Amino acid sequence: MTRFASMRGWALTLIALAMLPFILPSDYYLGIATHALVIAVLALSLDILIGQGGMSSLGHAAYLGVSAYAVAWTTRNAGWPAYAAIPFALALGTLTACVFGVLALRARGLGFLMITLALGQVMWGAAYRWVDLTGGDNGIRMQARPVLLGFDLNNATNFYIIVCAVLLTTLIAIYKLDHSALGACLRGTRDQPRRMRMLGHDVWKIRFVGFVSAGFWGAVAGVLYAYDYLYVGPSALSLPQSAEALLMVVLGGAGTLAGPVAGAIVITVIKTVVSSYVDRWYTLLGLTFIIVVSVMPKGLVPGIRSWMKGNRA
């Protein structure tokens, strides 16, 4: 019964997302919805580390930024077509995750958090100072979105459909990872690393594969980010971007597929819609986080599920 209710909930959510282009009053609001789903991919990628691996990172936006810069630079400055720029950006973002993993996985807990923070700040500093490559504070502006799979992505509805398709692919891939032997091993290294070693598992390699997987999906979010804004600047891989992704996972509920998506939608709406009417929207965001954590310590999605189960009982 619970599994059926979960499948029904996901089906209703997907139908609602598909209907948004026909419900929203203008392309402006559709653009906000598109951005929320792009950031949801980033939050989902970070949840692989937090929810499954128990590794909190404050440098996760680096993969988004690296792949976004790669797409923008190769298409704008090198003249590459999107079919070549996108695989290159994904490979570069994943390679960055490999390097970060080798350096960061030497530590655990607070040490891991601080190393990822430092590595993220190094990437932000490079983007800010390496003006010849990244444009510095001015960033890189892209001309237009490409035509992919017969879709002209300059059309807001077409781009939204592509983003929805990528989000669905991300959800399926992370679900498969969560229910695979690798996912079980990753959770084992989170809960009982010493016992995993005694059973003959290489804990470092398991964490490294999980780390790189999270980096790959972060790079996917970066490609969407570049085509969403048609601009990439140092803010794409800054500390606030990483902190917001972490906040989305915690707010929505770590270790759940729906949690990071819900957290991304809530924070994006507060940033883009509510901030138009409320000057101190950061205060509102903080109050929202405090209230949710106080009432639902595990996050919005687990809290709502527990409340619904209690009502049914």
Name the residue among 121, 60, 64, 127 with its Cα closest to residue 90.
64
Look-up of token digits 């500093």: 125
The predicted-structure confidence for 129-178, as pLDDT tens digits, reads as follows 999 889 888 999 998 888 887 778 898 899 999 999 999 999 999 999 99
On the question of pLDDT at 281 being above 90, the answer is: no
Look-up of token digits 């949710």: 292
Q: Hey, how many other C-beta atoms are within 10 angstroms of the C-beta on 197?
A: 13
pLDDT-derived band at 313 (thresholds 50, 70, 90) equals low
Using DSSP's 3-state secondary structure scheme, residue 147 falls into strand
Two structure tokens written together for 129: 């100072």
User: pTM for this structure?
Assistant: 0.92
Handedness of CA 299, 302, 306, 311 (dihedral sign): positive
On the question of pLDDT at 298 being above 90, the answer is: no
Average pLDDT over residues 20-40: 89
Q: What is the DSSP letter of 49?
A: I
Please check whether residue 77 is in contact with residue 134, taking contact to mean a CB–CB distance below 8 angstroms.
Answer: no
Pairing of strands 140-141, 231-232: antiparallel
Average pLDDT over residues 102-126: 92
Q: What percent of the chain has pLDDT over 90?
A: 53
User: Which pLDDT score is estimated for 6?
Assistant: 55
On the question of pLDDT at 290 being above 90, the answer is: no
The predicted-structure confidence for 194-213, as pLDDT tens digits, reads as follows 899 998 889 999 999 999 99
pLDDT-derived band at 312 (thresholds 50, 70, 90) equals low
Residue of higher predicted confidence among 14 and 85: 85
How far does CA 54 lie from the centroid of its chain? 16
pLDDT-derived band at 4 (thresholds 50, 70, 90) equals very low
Name the residue among 76, 104, 48, 33 with its Cα closest to residue 216.
48
Integer Cα distance of 259 and 298 in angstroms: 10
User: Which pLDDT score is estimated for 271?
Assistant: 86
Residue of higher predicted confidence among 289 and 44: 44
User: Which pLDDT score is estimated for 306?
Assistant: 80
Residue of higher predicted confidence among 250 and 277: 250
Two structure tokens written together for 44: 């989902």
Q: What is the DSSP letter of 218?
A: H
Q: Could you tell me how many residues make up the chain?
A: 313
Two structure tokens written together for 24: 């929203």
pLDDT-derived band at 287 (thresholds 50, 70, 90) equals confident
